[in-house]
Chains A and B, each alone.
Chain A
Amino acid sequence: MLETAFTGSKRYYRLLAVLLFFMAVGAVVYLRQLSFGLGITGMGRDVSWGFYIAQFTYLVGVAASGVMVVLPYYLHDYKAFGRITVLGEFLAVAAVTMCLLFIIVDLGRPDRLLNVIFYPTPNSILFWDMIVLNGYLLLNIVIGWTVLEAERNQVKYPKWVKPLILISIPWAPSIHTVTAFLYAGLPGRGYWLTAIMAPRFLSSAFAAGPALLILLALIVRKFTKFDPGREQIQTLAKIVTYAIIINVFFFFCEIFTVFYSQIPDHMLHFQYLFQGLQGKGQLVPWMWFAIVGMTVAAILMVFPKIRQNENTLALVCGLIIVTTYIDKGLGLISGGFIPNPTEKVVEYWPTLPEALITLGVWATGFFILTILYKVAVSVKEEVKA
């Protein structure tokens, strides 16, 4: 089935070439990071996690959203989603691969990576993160590939796939819950020390992931002979609507708890993000754009006219992706670390090498996604013929 990835249009090869170029650039800059150290990034003693971990957090959400197509189809027999489950699963594969790559590029000593396996530490959430991420990757590769192959040969998928699919359904929210627990259990970080961290992660994931899937589905329809289907996209849009409304609601819950209780340690982080603190506030415009944009997107998605017009839908999905990315990408990490444990403000901004490595990892993910989608689309085109 992989041979279908080796034949394609000129546009397909051009896309792969561009992605390979950015992968190569990222790889070269990463070599520099390996020799100099993580000092080439913008991270420091006070903001010790940055862009890499932010991308990882965001992409874990995107990966988990695969369950939003799998669950209705396999558990509730929503036949319409049968066309696109493989798109959701392959998106999850690409996203989890990017997660793992971002964790690796963030490590100070990647040559000692295997220590997490040699010295298992069940009380550490990072240990569980390694397990659930790799498990989810394996599940989705096996399930997606096997079901697609069965579809190509026009037979029902083998019986042993069903238990794997059923496992993947609770596994998906668990990868995101474990990632949220990385943050939510740290006593010294008031911004993250909230029971609602995992629910917030899930709601923003189930908004951003299906939004991305909608955009990918529209792209697939435009550039290939496979049409994911109007009904499928509309159902995804409904899922995005509910998720983004809940996400905005959760944010306002946080604001209420923090500012009604007036506890300084919790308020300071929100003040830094939305007002500026000690004269520093480079994230303020970004955060306001994210929250206002997210709220506007949530309101817009409620209107059927906007959801049903696929052009406006695409625009609002794009807005959702951007605003959730800013909230989880820039806001979450910086907000947690600033002010630092001694209440000083030391700001963080990614450097150019950091951005190039990040771009290289994104390119790798999209490279994998392109190849996998090419395989899926080719099979579907072939079956239709």
Chain B
Amino acid sequence: MGINRRDFVKLAGLSALFGLGGKAGWELLAPGQVEAQIKAQGKPLTAKRWAMVVDMRKLDDATAARCIEACHKIHNVPDYTKPVNPKDALTPEQIVRWEVKWIWTDHFHNAFPGFDQPYMQERLEHLNFLCLCNHCENPPCVRVCPTKATFRRDDGIVMMDMHRCIGCRFCMAGCPFGARSFNWRDPRPFIKEEYPDYPTREPGMVEKCDFCVKLLAKGQLPACVTESKGALIFGDLADAKSGPREALKAHYTIRRKPHLGTNPQVYYIV
């Protein structure tokens, strides 16, 4: 080798400087505020505090089923009761254990444990309440996540970062509403029709409703809201004239497990 130690260190130092400088240069060249053409897309919907009011007077079982189907379809949520290849059929126990659901229905005493009483309004006994992630204002799931893979956005939505999740399932233990699902295996063999505008998930990650952030960014309402034909009222709680605020002003609403202090943002008109 013809190079002595001092020269080598000098060379290494200069190379490192160039490398870092190059990185800095690339960073400087990144986004600037210049107008241009872009494919026509609706202006994104923004809010200070997204919330939803579920009007159970208008939501019948058929509509609820359509809402669930719409949500699960556009997010490639697997249906473990319907394998693409019949040979992959699962046992009932596996179906229960591996179920992934972002939105579902439950009876009153399951959705609102502790609220039910021996003699209730007859209608309430059989009513199927639509349940989903409540996008709480004080979410325990966000509090416990060790990597901030689940985090609360400024507009109130509790978001999942699928790229960062390590699959520790602490958030699942933390959620008092059972709103989170885990991918115990590869879901693709149980997705009949792959929806092209949304990824699937790999095994080892937690997933849940994200209030359709992708649709909101395109200026559309969440799929379940659109499908519900008015039974689900979605809007900005900070805006006094929004749908949810009007509904909350006009009707008595209940929330799931409010005494736990998570401040859920899904309200139910019963």
Interface residues in chain A, defined as those with a beta carbon under 8 Å from any beta carbon in chain B: 36-39, 42-46, 48-49, 103, 106-110, 112-113, 115-116, 118-119, 121, 123-127, 130, 182, 185-189, 264-265, 336-337, 340-344, 346
Provide the residues of chain B in CB contact with A343, threshold 8 Å. Answer: 109-110, 113
What distance in Å separates the Cβ of B193 from its nearest Cβ neighbour in chain A?
A: 22
Provide the residues of chain A in CB contact with B99, threshold 8 Å. Answer: 44-45
Does B172 make an interface contact (CB < 8 A)?
Answer: yes
Chain B residue at smallest Cβ distance from A339: B113
Give the secondary structure class of B's interface.
loop
A344 to B99, CA, bound (A): 15
A39 to B168, CA, bound (A): 14
Interface residues in chain B, defined as those with a beta carbon under 8 Å from any beta carbon in chain A: 94, 96-100, 106, 109-111, 113-114, 131, 140, 143-149, 164-170, 172-178, 181-186, 203-206, 257, 260-262
Chain A residue at smallest Cβ distance from B93: A44
| Most chain A C-beta atoms within 10 Å of own C-beta, residue among B94, B97, B131, B164 | B97
A344 to B104, CA, bound (A): 15
A sample of 17 more A-B contacts (CB under 8 A), given A108-B182, A121-B148, A342-B110, is A36-B186, A37-B183, A43-B97, A45-B98, A46-B97, A109-B204, A109-B205, A119-B164, A126-B146, A126-B170, A186-B174, A187-B174, A187-B260, A265-B113, A341-B175, A342-B131, A346-B96
| Most chain B C-beta atoms within 10 Å of own C-beta, residue among A39, A116, A125, A185 | A39
Provide the residues of chain A in CB contact with B205, threshold 8 Å. Answer: 108-109
28 CB-based A-B contacts, threshold 8 Å? A36-B185, A36-B186, A37-B203, A43-B184, A44-B97, A44-B184, A45-B97, A45-B98, A45-B172, A45-B182, A48-B169, A107-B168, A107-B204, A108-B166, A108-B183, A108-B205, A108-B206, A115-B166, A119-B147, A186-B144, A187-B140, A187-B262, A188-B177, A264-B114, A265-B113, A341-B176, A342-B131, A343-B113
Assess whether B165 is in contact with A130, with CB atoms less than 8 Å apart. Answer: no
Assess whether A124 is in contact with B143, with CB atoms less than 8 Å apart. Answer: yes
Q: Select B166's contact among A112, A125, A185, beta carbons within 8 Å.
A: A112
What distance in Å separates the Cβ of A331 from its nearest Cβ neighbour in chain B?
A: 16
Give the secondary structure class of A's interface.
loop
Known pairs A37-B186, A44-B184, A45-B98; A126 contacts B168 (CB<8 A): yes
A185 to B262, CA, bound (A): 13
A274 to B169, CA, bound (A): 27
Q: Select B146's contact among A37, A44, A116, A340, beta carbons within 8 Å.
A: A116
Assess whether B113 is in contact with A108, with CB atoms less than 8 Å apart. Answer: no
Assess whether A116 is in contact with B204, with CB atoms less than 8 Å apart. Answer: no
| Most chain B C-beta atoms within 10 Å of own C-beta, residue among A48, A118, A186 | A48
Chain A residue at smallest Cβ distance from B151: A121
A182 to B168, CA, bound (A): 12
Provide the residues of chain B in CB contact with A127, threshold 8 Å. Answer: 146
A346 to B96, CA, bound (A): 8
| Most chain A C-beta atoms within 10 Å of own C-beta, residue among B113, B168, B178 | B168
A167 to B260, CA, bound (A): 37
Assess whether A115 is in contact with B173, with CB atoms less than 8 Å apart. Answer: no
Chain A residue at smallest Cβ distance from B204: A108
Assess whether B183 is in contact with A48, with CB atoms less than 8 Å apart. Answer: no
Provide the residues of chain A in CB contact with B100, threshold 8 Å. Answer: 45
Provide the residues of chain A in CB contact with B185, threshold 8 Å. Answer: 36-39
Provide the residues of chain B in CB contact with A125, threshold 8 Å. Answer: 144
What distance in Å separates the Cβ of A112 from its nearest Cβ neighbour in chain B?
A: 5
| 9 nearest CB pairs, A to B | A108-B167, A188-B176, A44-B97, A108-B204, A37-B203, A39-B184, A39-B185, A126-B146, A341-B178
A115 to B182, CA, bound (A): 19
Q: Select B172's contact among A48, A124, A344, beta carbons within 8 Å.
A: A48
Chain B residue at smallest Cβ distance from A268: B113
Assess whether A187 is in contact with B147, with CB atoms less than 8 Å apart. Answer: no
Known pairs A186-B174, A344-B110; A108 contacts B148 (CB<8 A): no
What distance in Å separates the Cβ of B256 from its nearest Cβ neighbour in chain A?
A: 9
